[in-house]
Amino acid sequence: MEFLIEYGLFLAKIVTVILALMVLIGFIFANREQLKERVQGHISVTRLNDRYEQFKETLLEAVMEKHEFAHLKKQLAKEKKAEEKALLKKHKAAAKRKGSKAASSEVGAKVLQKSAPEAEPEKQAGSNGERKRIFVTQFNGDIKASGLSHLREEITAILQVAEAGDEVLLCLESPGGMVANYGLAASQLARVRSAGIQLTIAVDKVAASGGYMMACVADKILAAPFAMVGSIGVLAQLPNFNRLLKRHDVDYELFTAGEYKRTVTMFGENTEEGREKFQSDLEEIHVLFQHFISEYRPNLDVAKVATGEVWFGQKALSMGLVDELKTSDEYLTECAREVELFQVEYKEKKNIAKKMGLAAEAGIESALTRLFSRLTAWRHHAQ
């Protein structure tokens, strides 16, 4: 038994050393690459309609008889060909109408504009007569809103081709974080609305604090029934080690120019005046947060929901924080029958150093997660 314990401790030491080396190597290579010119990424586009059709075809092939599936496949191919032919005919007719309008005189155009009522656009058609297009992108937020660098590139790419009648769907997951970062992320989404493109945001898990700051920009917010929404508030916390330093005869000196350059610190002795100013700053940010939400959701009683609380989907719907209970998967599969779906993703090329660093990070995170799960299970078993 003693041998097994010693062997286990030996293995634990070996694993610790290997993990430490992996982290060190990844850190060194990552920092080396930061000195080099950043490799430019690229936009990747996937047609989701093809993906859904492939899923459907694979399942049908598995559940149907061979001859039945062959017959169905031919029938579907004919229908697709007929649909493409009809769409091509529609494009030609639209182009012909556009040419005839361009040839008409300016006076005649003005007369027609005054006399003829505005035509209602087709429900599932873009401004060019084609099927409506939905551009799908994702944002998985952390405290620093690190996905912002990719989001801004994706929005820029989409706005190069999107037209009136198209739509942008953002699948958003974020518990919030730094005010300035999430404010900029929300501003990136505002570009879509400013361009006259419909913006829909789907929340499957969480859109809290800065996450909801982004979500409120949308024309329509979808939320899963158990998605967590809200947390309209501001949070700041920090430890203070001043008494500990004094106990060990360590002096901490802070030099500033400007009365409120530093209101509270981790190592200095905080004053009541500094605390009041810091709290005042938080209140000001909270007011700005509420005004921002009111601008995009004027019918929402912001004072009622700006308490820092989080609500699940059903309650969030009744309070006006979201517009519909629906998952992103449900929304996309419904739309796939009538519109063109394109997933847009900005991808950066990862060199070997970055891959090693990410692998080390993922390995440590996975090990810690497993350890925490086992400790939790052991605790429940002990009770």
Are 203 and 322 in contact, with CB atoms under 8 Å apart?
A: yes
- Closest by CA to 198, choosing from 168, 158, 154, is 168
Are 192 and 379 in contact, with CB atoms under 8 Å apart?
A: no
- Tell me the β-bridge partners of 230: 208, 310
Which listed residue (66, 114, 261, 304) is catalytic?
A: 261
| DSSP strand pairing (42-47 vs 340-347) | antiparallel
The question of whether 149 is a catalytic residue gets the answer no
Q: Tokens 């209140």 identify what position?
A: 283
101 φ, ψ (degrees, to nearest 5): -70, -40
Name, in order, each residue with C-beta under 8 angstroms of 325's C-beta and a sequence gap of 6 or more. 222, 223, 224, 225, 313, 314, 317
- In our burial notation (b when 16+ CB lie closer than 10 A, e otherwise), range 225-248 reads eebbbbbbbbeeeeeeebeeeeee
Which two tokens mark 295?
A: 């601008």
Q: Max alpha carbon distance in the chain (Å)?
A: 100
Are 236 and 265 in contact, with CB atoms under 8 Å apart?
A: no
The question of whether 114 is a catalytic residue gets the answer no
140 φ, ψ (degrees, to nearest 5): -105, 105
The DSSP symbol for 258 reads S
- Type of residue numbered 192: V
Which listed residue (209, 231, 326, 328) is catalytic?
A: 209
DSSP H helical segments within 104-229, as ranges? 106-115, 148-161, 179-194, 210-215
How far is 52 from 57, CA to CA, in rounded Å? 9
How far is 15 from 376, CA to CA, in rounded Å? 22
The DSSP symbol for 282 reads H
Residues with active-site annotation? 209, 261
